[in-house]
Amino acid sequence: MKQLRLAIVGATGAVGHELIKIVQERKIPYTELRLLASKRSAGTKIDVGGKEYTVEEATLDSFRDCDAALFAGGPASKAFGRDAAEMGCVVIDNSSTFRYEPDVPLVVPEVNPEALTGHHNLIANPNCSTILLVTALWPIHKHAGVKRAIVSTYQACSGAGKEAMDELCSQSMEVLEGKPVHPEHFKYQIAFNVIPQIDVWVDDDYTKEEMKLVWETHKIMGDDSIGITPVCAVRVPVMRSHCEAVYLETEKHISPEECRELLSKEDYIVLQDDPENFVYPMPITSTDTDKTYVGRIRRDTVEPNGLNMWISFDQLRKGAATNAVQILEELIKRDLLP
């Protein structure tokens, strides 16, 4: 197996830490590991597999003679992504910078690994809420054809970065101790609250976060005819696992029992669907795993071909870092690295 000269960009952030962890867990083969970050974080010491690494400031020279780079997201993607790719380094990027560019594959390995063929050294990792949605939809779409999906997302603070997670912790303590709360990362208090806005407003009073579900699902699943309605993206006081309430309308009738059987055959899906015994997906059980948890599967009360379900997964792992590392694994497996 090819031994890589591998870079991780944004190594000191929440996603960066997960990338380092998952590269070790999944035994990605490398002869050299470069941990990169902004000038402010340069000099930080990080232990990787018992060896201490010093984080270096990311510059264009960081990617010379580099086989692959995992970008955790942020300004570095715009600053170095295209140039690093042109230098021969395969860039797998977690930001939204390149997701909608036609020459850049947008990949979830369980759904569209074939999109990696013919890549131009630049591959985009989808938005976390999109990855959660398409991993649950894909087996159903292949069997019955998804006509429409109506989705509400309930997104953990990890989706807004380490500072947001820290703010949830500190605000929770302040509220419990009766101290005044002064939001900094979010516009409003997040502890013991929900905020029905994630990202900036775009057309028709939807947020960009909501519209990512539409744009990215179409690109990944290769079907622009699927009607995707993002009802609301809600920030919730949860540390790191997202949830979604999903309504599906299919071309071909599929019963809840058939849907459960389909999903149970996928090794990346955990079926938790026994409501009478209080078994259903929750952040507390999906955290620190790489699985998509699906439950509360039931017939719609109106539409004969309609189903409702509730899904959850770890935003930092499968929603970001693990998916990126899986893309790298797929490139190695298919011999698609330069």
Q: Sign of the C-alpha dihedral, residues 263, 129, 72, 194?
A: negative
**Which whole-number Å values give the CA distances from 209 to 59, 153, 196, 242, 253, in the listed order?**
29, 10, 11, 13, 31
Query: What is the CATH classification number for the domain harbouring 272?
Result: 3.30.360.10
Three-state SS annotation for 33-66: EEEEECCCCCCCEEEECCEEEECEECCHHHHCCC
114 plus 171 within the same structural domain? no
Classify residue 153: in a domain, yes or no: yes
Classify residue 328: in a domain, yes or no: yes
pLDDT digits 0-9 by tens, 234-268: 999 999 999 999 999 999 999 999 999 999 999 99
Give me the amino acid identity at 245: A
Query: What is the CATH classification number for the domain harbouring 39?
Result: 3.40.50.720
Classify residue 151: in a domain, yes or no: yes
The residue-averaged pLDDT of 80-98 equals 97
Classify residue 305: in a domain, yes or no: yes
72 plus 51 within the same structural domain? yes
Residue 170: band (very low, low, confident or very high) from pLDDT cuts 50, 70, 90? very high
Alpha-helix runs per DSSP H in the chain: 14-25, 75-86, 128-144, 162-176, 208-221, 256-264, 283-286, 322-333
**pLDDT, the chain, mean:** 97
308 burial level (CB within 10 Å; 0-12, 13-18, 19+): middle
Q: What global pTM score does this model have?
A: 0.96
117 plus 177 within the same structural domain? no
For 83, phi then psi, to 5°, come to -65, -40
The closest of 75, 63, 65 to 38, measured between CA atoms, is: 75
108 plus 235 within the same structural domain? no
277 plus 173 within the same structural domain? yes
Classify residue 338: in a domain, yes or no: no
The residue-averaged pLDDT of 203-228 equals 97
18 plus 38 within the same structural domain? yes
Instruction: Indicate which residues carry an active-site annotation.
Output: 128, 242
113 plus 239 within the same structural domain? no
The answer on pLDDT for 221 being more than 70 is yes
76 plus 207 within the same structural domain? no
Other C-beta atoms closer than 10 Å to the C-beta of 137 total: 23
136 plus 268 within the same structural domain? yes
The closest of 276, 308, 9, 264 to 139, measured between CA atoms, is: 264
Residue numbers of the domain that contains 107: 4-126+320-333
The closest of 330, 325, 332 to 69, measured between CA atoms, is: 325
For 137, phi then psi, to 5°, come to -75, -35
99 plus 243 within the same structural domain? no
State the total domains in the chain.
2
310 plus 326 within the same structural domain? no
User: Which two structure tokens, joined as six digits, stand for 41?
Assistant: 């974080």
Classify residue 135: in a domain, yes or no: yes
